[in-house]
Amino acid sequence: MTADQGGGPLLRVEDLVVEIPRDGMVSTPVDGVSFEVGSRESVGVVGESGCGKSLTALALLRLHPRGAAHIRRGRALFRGEDLLAMDIDRLRKWRGRRISMVFQEPMTSLNPVFQCGDQIAEGMQVHLGLSRQQARDRAISLLEEVGMDHPARRAGQYPHELSGGMRQRVMIAMAIACSPDLLLADEPTTALDVTVQARILDLLERLQEERAMSLLHITHDLALVSQRSNRILVMYSGRIVESAKTAQLVAEAAHPYTLGLFACRPRLGDRRRRLSLIEGSVPDPAHRPQGCAFHPRCPFATARCGQERPEMQSLGAGHAVACFEAERVREAGRWPDA
């Protein structure tokens, strides 16, 4: 807590807008996103594919695809310092050291030609000034900490010699090696089968608590974070549309999209996979409908929803929603049957 600036949140994102120029037009896949992550807090970010979750996380570390996208405006105050405005060399030193990221596909982040142990060790040599041997020893204990069997042997293996779940553990070991304050995990288990997924999520949860980290867990799976996060941000078409403590969101969701994400039915033949009941798809950010971006898919929509865009409004006790029909939605309590 001591290093917190005035006891404020660890991360405070204000009105983040990411633009992508395309065909002479400008689209805004991240369209005014604001949220906070507290010290030691675990926050879930949920939304279907194409809602702008990854771009939001990447932009915070200025790792968004250069050339394609740029940050139009906004601030991302980390311990009071703006990540979006600071000197890029300074930010490079913070990446991996104070804020780390874990991605869906470890093979895009792991280097195929280096042994896993050396890849974990590298950050500690650079950021913490450890010797090669010290860093290598630490890498082995990190592999043990993330639950790898035979950690010393694993350290000498190459990524292709490991299973998907083991690679993700290596990625997590790399991410926590320098004891960051914040871990951004973008669909960290989406590529894994369900049992491995649960083990990796248990691991992230344990590390977050033991290491007193904050965790921003991005996923398309609301059921998954509703069992594990302290607070949830629901994202739709480039904006946060509902934000609440997890128990609150489960008990009294006030955005139709949130109800839709909760209302999934088991997929035939695979009880653990769920099928969305929300018809249609997330709009292309270059062709967003007028009014509320969700209104064409929304069973609660009125004429106003097609004309005006609802802003986030507080419902009290840390619960906020961007919906004109929030009261009706909260009372209905569930996605209407088709």
User: By C-beta, is 178 or 322 nearer to ligand ADP?
Assistant: 322
According to CB under 5 A, which one of 54, 119, 219, 230 is a site residue for Mg ion?
A: 54
Our CB check for Mg ion shows the closer of 61 and 321 to be: 61
Compute the least distance from the CB of residue 124 to ligand ADP, in Å: 30
CB nearer to Mg ion: pick between 57 and 91: 57
Decide which of ligand ADP, Mg ion, none touches 223; Cβ closer than 5 to 8 Å per partner kind: none
Residue 239's H or E segment, with its range, is strand 239-245
Query: Token pair for residue 15?
Result: 């009105």
Q: At a CB cut-off of 8 Å and minimum separation 6, what does 158 contact?
A: 112, 113, 114, 115, 116
**152 vs 191 by CB, closer to ligand ADP:** 191
Residues 6+ apart with CB under 8 A from 129: none
Half-sphere exposure of 213 (CA within 13 A, CB side): 29
| Pairwise CA distance, residues 324 & 322, whole Å | 7
User: Min. distance of Cβ 236 from ligand ADP in angstroms?
Assistant: 10
Beta strands 239-245; 264-267: pairing state: unpaired
Nearer to Mg ion, 29 or 123 (CB): 29
Is residue 189 a contact point for Mg ion (CB under 5 A)?
A: no
Which residues in the 100-159 window bind Mg ion by CB under 5 A?
A: none
Site track for Mg ion across 11-50, x = CB under 5 A: ----------------------------------------
Q: Select the binding partner of residue 50 from Mg ion, ligand ADP, none (C-beta < 5 to 8 A, by kind).
A: ligand ADP
DSSP string, 90-147: HHHHHBTTTEEEE-S-HHHHS-TTS-HHHHHHHHHHHHH---HHHHHHHHHHHHHHTT
Residues that bind ligand ADP (CB under 6 A): 20, 29, 47, 49-55, 65, 68, 284-285
Q: Long-range CB contacts (< 8 A, 24+ apart) of 87-94?
A: 88/62, 91/61, 91/62, 93/127
Minimum CB distance to Mg ion, residue 71 (Å): 17
Tokens, residue 176: 């926590």
Angle between helical axes of 164-176 and 116-128 (0-180°, round to 10): 10
In angstroms, give the least distance from the CB of 172 to Mg ion.
18
Residues 6+ apart with CB under 8 A from 52: 18, 29, 30, 31, 33, 235, 237, 238, 285
Residue 261, SS3 per DSSP: helix
Q: Considering CB distances under 5 to 8 angstroms, the limit depending on partner class, which of Mg ion, ligand ADP, none binds residue 285?
A: ligand ADP
Q: How far is the CB of 104 from Mg ion (least distance, A)?
A: 7
56 binds Mg ion (CB under 5 A): no
Which is closer to Mg ion, CB of 54 or CB of 189? 54
68 binds, among ligand ADP, Mg ion, none (CB under 5 to 8 A by kind): ligand ADP
Q: Which amino acid does the sequence have at 56?
A: T
CB of 262 to ligand ADP, least distance (A): 18
Query: Smallest gap, in angstroms, from Cβ of residue 101 to ligand ADP?
Result: 13
The footprint of Mg ion on this chain (CB under 5 A) covers a number of residues equal to 1
Q: Which one, 54 or 258, has the nearer CB to ligand ADP? A: 54
CB of 64 to ligand ADP, least distance (A): 8
What are the residues binding Mg ion (CB under 5 A)? 54
